[in-house]
Amino acid sequence: MKLLLLVTFVALAEFDYKRRSALSCPNLCSCSTESSSAEVVCSKGGLTGFPKSGLPPNTTTLSIQNTNLGRIAAGDLSAVPSLNYLQLYHTSLPSLPSDLLVSVPRLDTLDLTGNELVNLPANVFNHGSLHSLVVRNNRLVEANPAWFSDNSSLLHLDLSGNQLTSISAALLHKLPLLQTLDLDGNNLQELPADVFRSLRHLETLNLAGNKLITLKPQTFAHNLKLKHLYLQENRLQDLPANLLHRLQQLEFLLLNQNQLRHLPTGLLDGANPSLQIILTGNPWECDGKMEYLWKWLTDHRQNVPFEAEVTCDQPKTLKNLQVSSLNDSQLGVRRQ
């Protein structure tokens, strides 16, 4: 009998806790509460300030979406010390305070997609537990090394869709554990030879949608764990023959929508047998210099998605013909 009463008491206490927590939710937000955590989503029109009032104290996930928040202070987050995930998505933020994350020591993921951030203060991401940072589709013109502490624990960094014209080795030197780096859709025109040198754990690198014309031979020489390399939609005109030689784990390589006319002899020698490479949308010049790619395509058609769309642009007599369908006489290659 006593055991039954005890079980009943515990059940009622838990029910009462959930009931009271469920009643604690800011206006214009929805809350989903469990015994040890709560998820809060604020995506309703009319929210113009941080919803401090009514936030469940055990909130672990907070998502504020498509609002005119406009401003956030470090003190705002003191109401949710257990916060693990913070999303401020399209909330019209023009800036952040340097001490924004001081009161949320457990924060793992910060998503700032779609704001109006231009400049950020020093130490703004100097936060020991932060593993994933997304600052996608803002107005950043510089990625400042001062944002981070030395030996940051960051694993994923997304700076895509900004206005960056350069990325510095000094910044990436502070992020030695980085596994994913997304720089898609910026204005990068040139990369220093050693810029990725410190990223020994890097697995995914997205450089698509920039203005790169060429790459230096040693650009990826220290990224031996690289599996996914996205270089599409740049202005690449040529590539160093040894650019990929140390990337034995590379699984995906996207080179489509560039200005490549040939691939240098040896570029794909020793590549991972399962490598998938996309080559469409380049103005391939089908002459004697095409012999290396022509032979590689013939032997590795299974490695080239959309291989039928890898076609000649020049000369006019071969225009739009599938490269792998050509013969040695069309390319002007001497028979062995």
CA atoms within 13 A on the CB side of 11: 6
Largest CA distance in the chain: 96
* pLDDT score of 335: 55
CA 196 – CA 72 distance, rounded (Å)? 33
* pLDDT score of 23: 62
What are the sequence ranges of the domains in the chain?
Answer: 19-129
Do residues 69 and 75 make contact, with C-beta atoms less than 8 angstroms apart? no
Q: Which regions in the chain score pLDDT beneath 50?
A: 1-22
* pLDDT score of 18: 44
In the CATH scheme, what is the homologous superfamily, with its name and number, of domain 19-129? Ribonuclease Inhibitor (3.80.10.10)
* pLDDT score of 334: 64
pTM, 2 dp: 0.91
Percentages (nearest 5) of helix, strand, coil residues in the chain? 20, 15, 65
CA 150 – CA 171 distance, rounded (Å)? 10
Retrieve residue 4's tokens.
């039954």
* pLDDT score of 151: 87
Q: Which helix (H) or strand (E) holds 293?
A: helix 291-299
